[in-house]
């Protein structure tokens, strides 16, 4: 692996919890706790997790829309956390939002929306027009779309516009926050194809946020699984999907609705996990997943598991993976491995 383009080190975010008569701070909500990962130029890093897992908060911190409580975000070695949301950052990192409907201003034409970053750079009017046409062409839309308004466009077309707008600043990294979850699958396929093409031709790097694991399997090169703001497992997509090590990853994969017997055979044989993700406001002690984990044992509600490396590039945070787990009362790790294989 070459030197990473972006390195996230110990990123945490706690929102103060206010209450009482005078709105004093009573505690905090840990939305993101100690998340670290890095990715090389040209990579697609997938952040998977259910709602409330903190994936959007991570995106907003990298974008500079929210300040981290702790940790660093290094882009080419430069720490972004100190910088305000300034031009310096907006040039390097861009974002495509989930809802193509609300990420475009309904009262501004497509051309005006795409031109925002060009105008911010004080480019001459004629050059702005040419730039807009070029960007529309990059997302495979005709130049006359610049005079249209968002309500005249389909969801897929709107998302193409949002991508064109993000490309306008010539970013190195684009954060894709559920870019296709509001679209039909036939449109999703087209958008994913476009994103792949752009990544290859422009040498872009993506952080891809999604709850759709099947899509992630096909799009990301590395995947990190979040649960209540913690990265519980991370590794190359293939390894993580074929040999998931964390019980949460396994139950997530087991719950994915699939459309063929081949896929069914790949899914881990885990029972449907009970209950729902707890509120970040009252996080369970120890491993956050122990309240729903079918394999939880004595240690799990006591201490937060460290990261155990299964391989040079694949880790999971689970006490079952500790070398001495069996002596502490856990089901032996071999059981887990055999289940994975079967």
Partner 1 sequence: MSASVSAASVRISIAYQNWHRFSRNPTALIGAAIVTIVVLAALLAPWIAPHPDHVGAIVNFRVRHQPPSAQYWFGTDNVGRDIFSRVLFGYRISLLLAAVVLGFAVPVGATLGLLAGYFGGWMEILIMRLTDVALAIPPLVMALAVTAVLTPNLLHAMFAIAALWWTWHTRLIFSITRTLRHQEFVEAARTLGASRFHILFRELLPNCASAILVKVSLDFGFVILIGAALSYLGLGVQPPTPDLGTMVANGADFLPDRWWESLLPGAAILFVALGFNLLGDGLRDLYDVESVR
Partner 2 sequence: MTGEPLLSVRGLSVDFSTYGRRSQVLRDVSLDVPAHRHVALVGESGCGKSVTMRTIMGILPTPPARIVCGQILFDGRDLLAMRPRERERLRGTAMSMVFQDPMTSLNPVFTIGDQMATILKYADRRLGRVRGRRGRMARIFEVLGQVRMPDPERIARSYPIMLSGGMRQRVLIAMALLSEPRLLIADEPGTALDVTTQAQILKLLKDLVEDRGLALLMITHNLGVVREAADYVYVMYAGSVVEHAPTADLFARPSHPYTHALIDCVPKLSGDTAFRGIDGSLPDYTAPPAGCRFSPRCVLATALCDRPPSDRPVSEGHLAACWHLAEAAP
Chain residues binding partner 1 by CB under 8 A are: 63-65, 85-87, 90-91, 93-95, 97-99, 102-108, 112-113, 116-117, 119-121, 140-142, 145, 149, 151-154, 156-157, 162, 165-166, 168-169, 190
With respect to partner 2, which residue has the nearer C-beta, 55 or 89? Answer: 55
Separation CA 320–CA 305 (nearest Å): 9
What span, in angstroms and rounded, lies between the C-alpha atoms of 309 and 143?
50
Per the CB < 8 A criterion, the answer to whether 73 and 61 are in contact is yes
Our finding on whether 257 is near partner 2 (CB under 8 A) is yes
51 binds, among partner 2, partner 1, none (CB under 5 to 8 A by kind): partner 2
CB of 56 to partner 2, least distance (A): 14
Residue 253 and residue 216 in contact, taking contact as beta carbons nearer than 8 Å: no
| DSSP helix/strand/coil, 138 | helix
Nearer to partner 1, 166 or 273 (CB): 166
Residue carrying structure tokens 């201490």: 303
CA dist 41 and 288 (Å) reads 32
Residue 181: CA atoms inside 13 Å, Cβ hemisphere, count?
A: 16
Beta bridge partners of 73: 8
Smallest distance from the beta carbon of 162 to partner 1, in angstroms? 7
Closest CB 291 distance from partner 2, rounded Å:
13
Q: Pick one of 20, 122, 262, 312: the residue that binds partner 2 (CB under 8 A).
A: 262
Q: How many helices (H) and strands (E) does the chain have?
A: 11, 12
Nearer to partner 2, 2 or 260 (CB): 260
Q: In the bound complex, what is the minimum distance in angstroms from residue 97's beta carbon to partner 1?
A: 4
Contact 321, 245 (CB under 8 A): yes
- Decide whether 131 or 305 has the Cβ nearer to partner 1: 131
Query: What does 103 bind: partner 1, partner 2, none (CB cut-off 5 to 8 Å by kind)?
Result: partner 1
What are 95's strand-pairing partners? 175
HSE (side-chain half, CA atoms, 13 Å) at 298 = 6
Number of residues that bind partner 2 (CB under 8 A): 44
Near partner 2 by CB under 8 A: residue from 58, 128, 215, 232? 215
Strands 70-75, 4-19: parallel, antiparallel or unpaired by DSSP?
Answer: antiparallel
Strands 222-227, 44-48: parallel, antiparallel or unpaired by DSSP? parallel
Helix (H) / strand (E) containing 341: helix 333-341
Residue 152 contacts partner 2 per CB under 8 A: no
- The interface partner of residue 272, options being partner 1, partner 2, none and the CB cut-off 5 to 8 Å by kind, is partner 2
- Give least dist CB 81 to partner 2, A: 30
The reply to whether 276 sits near partner 2 by the rule CB under 8 A is yes
Q: What is the CA radius of gyration of the chain?
A: 22
Length, in residues, of the chain? 342
Smallest gap from Cβ 266 to partner 2, in A, equals 6
Q: Closest approach of Cβ 34 to partner 2, in Å?
A: 23
Alpha-carbon distance 58 to 52, whole Å? 12
Applying CB under 8 A, which of residues 62, 63, 273, 320 lies at the interface with partner 2?
273
Place of tokens 């466009």: 153
306 binds partner 2 (CB under 8 A): no
Q: Give the binding site for partner 2 (CB under 8 A).
A: 50-51, 154-155, 184-190, 192-193, 196, 211-215, 217-219, 237-238, 241, 251-260, 262-263, 266-267, 272-274, 276-277
């Amino acid at each position: 692996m070459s030197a990473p383009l972006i390195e996230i080190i110990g990123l945490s975010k706690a929102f103060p919890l206010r209450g009482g008569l005078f709105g004093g701070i009573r505690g905090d909500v840990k939305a993101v706790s100690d998340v670290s990962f890095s990715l090389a130029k040209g990579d697609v890093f997938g952040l998977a997790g259910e709602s409330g897992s903190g994936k959007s908060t991570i995106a907003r911190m990298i974008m500079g829309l929210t300040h981290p409580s702790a940790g660093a975000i290094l882009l080419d070695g430069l720490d972004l956390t100190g910088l305000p949301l300034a031009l310096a950052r907006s040039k390097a990192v861009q974002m495509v939002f989930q809802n193509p409907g609300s990420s475009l201003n309904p009262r501004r034409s497509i051309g005006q929306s795409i031109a925002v970053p060009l105008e911010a750079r004080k480019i001459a009017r004629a050059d702005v027009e040419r730039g807009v046409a070029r960007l529309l062409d990059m997302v495979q839309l005709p130049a006359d779309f610049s005079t249209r308004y968002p309500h005249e466009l389909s969801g897929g077309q709107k998302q193409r516009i949002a991508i064109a707008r993000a490309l306008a600043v010539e970013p190195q990294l684009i954060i894709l926050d559920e870019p296709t979850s509001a679209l039909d699958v036939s449109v999703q396929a087209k958008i994913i194809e476009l994103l792949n093409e752009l990544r290859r031709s422009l040498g872009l790097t993506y952080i891809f946020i999604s709850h759709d694991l099947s899509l992630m399997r096909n799009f990301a090169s590395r995947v990190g699984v979040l649960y209540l703001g913690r990265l519980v497992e991370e590794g190359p997509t293939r390894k993580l999907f074929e040999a998931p090590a964390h019980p949460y990853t396994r139950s997530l994969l087991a719950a994915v609705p699939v459309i063929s017997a081949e896929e069914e055979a790949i899914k881990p044989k885990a029972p449907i996990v009970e209950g729902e993700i707890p509120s970040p406001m009252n996080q369970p002690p120890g491993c956050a997943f122990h309240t729903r984990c079918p394999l939880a044992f004595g240690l799990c509600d006591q201490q937060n598991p460290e990261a155990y490396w299964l391989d040079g590039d694949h880790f999971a945070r689970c006490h079952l993976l500790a070398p001495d787990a069996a002596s502490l009362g856990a089901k032996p790790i071999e059981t887990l491995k055999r289940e994975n294989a079967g």
